[in-house]
Structure formats: C-alpha cells, structure tokens
Amino acid sequence: MSDVFAFGIGISQTDSQGNPLDCYFPTPCLNPSGEVAAAVASLPNGTSTAAPEEISYLIADHDLAPAVLLEADQPLQIVKLVEDVAIDSTPEAYLKLHLLSHRMTLPNTLNLDGIFPHLPNLAWTTQGAISTEELDQEILSARLKGEHLEIMSVDKFPKMVNYVMPSGVRIADASRIRLGAYLGDGTTVMHEGFVNFNAGALGPNMVEGRISQGVTIDAGTDLGGSASTMGTLSGGGEITITLGKNCLVGANAGTGIPLGDRCTIEAGLYITAGTVVTVVDETGTEVRKAKARELAGNSDMLFIRNSQNGQVLCRTNRRAIELNDALHAHN
C-alpha cells in the first residue's frame, strides 16, 4: 500500500509577490508504489518548491516529470499528498484538477473541499494567467510595447486543453471545457456543449448540452442542443446526478434526477425532483402518479408530455437508444 495518495512536479505562474496563480503538472501521479513511492518519501508533505537540480533524480531516474523541466530557470512546484483531504493550497487544487482531466480518477471521487478559496480569480490571457489586481498594469505594459493583450476570460478555472489534452476526443469550443472535466475516449463536445470541473462524459458521448459540476454521463448517452443536467452548484442540492448508458436528453430538455440506462427525455421537457409524473403502462393506461424523485435511477423510462393537456408522462422505454455509429466515430 502506498504511503502517498498523489504526487506532482510542475511549473507555477506567479504574481509579482510570488504567489502561485496556477500550476501545470505534465505527468501527475496517483497512488505511487514501489521505487517511486520510496523516492518521494523524504519530500515534505503538502506544497513545496525545489530547484530543478535538487530533484533531478525524481525526473531522470523515475520519470515523474518530463526531462525538459530540468532546464527550467525557476523553482519547480512540488505537491505530495499523503491522504485525499481538503485542499490547502493553489497547487494542490491544480493537482487534483489534473488528476480528473488525465482520467486518473472519476468525478465525485476526490475530496475537493476548499477548492474555491484556493483558486484565485484570474484573467486568462494570451500571456497566461494574470492577477486581476495586476491586469491594468499588464495591459498598459503591452500597449507601450505596441502589443495587444488578449483576455479570453476572468474566472477561477482555466480551459482544460491548455493543461491536458485527452486522447480520442473532439472539442468544438475549447473554452467550454474547464480544467477538472473528465472526457472519456470517443467523446465529442459540440460548440454549445459545456463540461464543468468534477463532471464528465465517460465516452463515447455526443455532448451538445451542459454537464454541470458533479454530473457524469455513461457510455452512449447523448445530450441534445442546449440540454441541461442539474449539478450540485445549480440547484441539485445533495443529489448526485448520473445518467446511465444509452440515454438521450433531447434538445432544450434537462434532468434534475439520476437516470438509469436507456432513458429518454423528450425535447423541451425538464424533469426536476418535484415534477409530478403520471406513470403509464405500455397500453397508455395510468398506473399511478408520482414525484419524479420516486423514479430516480430507474432504467428504460421514456418521459414525454401529453400534447393536449401538458401532463408529464413516464412510460417504459423498451428499446434502447440506437446510437449512430458514424456520429461517434473518431477515426
């Protein structure tokens, strides 16, 4: 059993006071064992820094970071976590976000308590992360050089692809995938698709809607244009929303309850935990009325509306959604 939960050697961008703004870990390590665990055992727990030559043995002998980092002209950032506990520093936050986007761990499996206070609100620019307090000066400095500093966003989270590029995925608009998102092999995220941190598509999936924080969708499940999943930060409370295999949430539809496998929600219909649903059998005969939360997690459900009275119906969906193989092909 390893005595180290996670480890990373990276490069931090800092403000004028030397405070880390972000951190890039090219090859994060989860649950190191054997010689690797022994090699990092003497390093301090938590967050620390070291000159490249001081930790050259970790890079040259154990491949814990690309060899090119030995040429860095700045101290390297080190994070060694003995346990998966609440986040205590900016580098620790970035290491855990890297673990998620590197597919080393699934959403909702890491302790992310404390992440927001340790992620500064930054301007993400063509020159990297800049403290919002120092942004005016940086804009002025660029202008004096005849340059234009482009600001893409002001946010706590950067876009994932500037740090991690998972294999086998297509992303139409990289700004809509935050670092800490999990994108499985075979996933396509279209222009209006969005995947938050600690959320993911296990692949293959077609994502044209929003996967909110804490939400995961399993293989073969698709979100139509502007479809929505309710995360814990957007009204879902303590309920963890998961969608099973081969589900379809239609365009402009959404769910605030977990779904099992082979479920469909028709376009434009948003199911929340309190939605009153009329359950019908395969002949269309009413069986009972229920709150949607009572149906949470069940498979083979088809949610539709009665076009005449607006009543929300749930009937058994016996046929799994047949995905278009060409749609999910990444060759």
Burial 221-260 (b: 16+ CB within 10 A, else e): bbbbebbbbbbbebebeebebbbbbbbbbbeebbbbbbbb
Residue 288, pLDDT score: 87
Report residue 83 as tokens.
């346990």
Residue type, 262: R
Q: Which residues contact 315 (CB under 8 A, 6 or more apart)?
A: 279, 280, 281, 282, 284, 301, 302, 304
Residue 286, pLDDT score: 82
**DSSP assignment of 304-316:** EE-TTT--EEEEE
Residue 321, pLDDT score: 37
CB 246 within 8 A of CB 204: no
The domain spans of the chain are 6-101, 122-155, 162-328
Q: Which helix (H) or strand (E) holds 137?
A: helix 135-144
6-101 and 122-155 share one fold:
no
Per-residue pLDDT of the chain (331 residues; tens, 9 = 90+): 458 999 999 999 999 999 999 999 999 999 999 999 999 999 999 999 999 999 999 999 888 999 999 999 999 999 999 999 999 999 999 999 999 999 999 999 999 999 999 999 999 999 999 999 999 999 999 999 999 999 999 999 999 999 999 999 999 999 999 999 999 999 999 999 999 999 999 999 999 999 999 999 999 999 999 999 997 655 555 678 999 999 999 999 999 999 999 999 999 999 999 999 999 887 778 888 999 999 999 999 999 999 899 999 998 754 433 444 544 554 3
CB 147 within 8 A of CB 164: no
Strand 122-125, strand 128-131: pairing: antiparallel
Dihedral sign computed on CA atoms, order 248, 216, 1, 54: positive
Q: Which residues contact 275 (CB under 8 A, 6 or more apart)?
A: 291, 292, 312
Tell me which residue has tokens 């278009």: 324
Q: Confirm or reject CATH 1.20.120.80 for domain 162-328, answering yes or no.
A: no
Residue 329, pLDDT score: 54
Residue 282, pLDDT score: 76
Q: Give the count of alpha carbons within 13 A of 185, CB side only.
A: 3
Rounded Cα distance between 276 and 273, Å, is 9
**Closest alpha carbon to 1 in 40, 44, 35, 31:** 31
CB 299 within 8 A of CB 177: no
Strand 181-183, strand 151-155: pairing: unpaired
* CATH class of the domain defined by 6-101: alpha beta
Q: In degrees rounded to 5, what are phi and psi of residue 205?
A: -145, 155
Catalytic residues: 208
Tens digits of residue pLDDT in 17-53: 999 999 999 999 999 999 999 999 999 999 999 999 9
Q: Which residues contact 141 (CB under 8 A, 6 or more apart)?
A: none
75 prior amide bond cis, ω within 30:
no
Strand 199-201, strand 216-217: pairing: parallel
Residue 233, pLDDT score: 58
CB 247 within 8 A of CB 227: no
Residue type, 192: E
Strand 6-14, strand 29-30: pairing: antiparallel
Report residue 176 as tokens.
């809509």
pTM listed for this prediction: 0.92
Q: For domain 122-155, give the CATH superfamily.
A: Trimeric LpxA-like enzymes (3.30.60.70)
**DSSP assignment of 278-302:** EEE-TTS-EEEEEEGGGGTT-SSEE
Strand order in the sheet with 122-125: 128-131, 122-125, 151-155
CB 177 within 8 A of CB 162: no
For 12, 100, 196, 239, the CA distances from 112, given in Å and listed in that order, are 20, 11, 14, 17
Residue 232, pLDDT score: 64
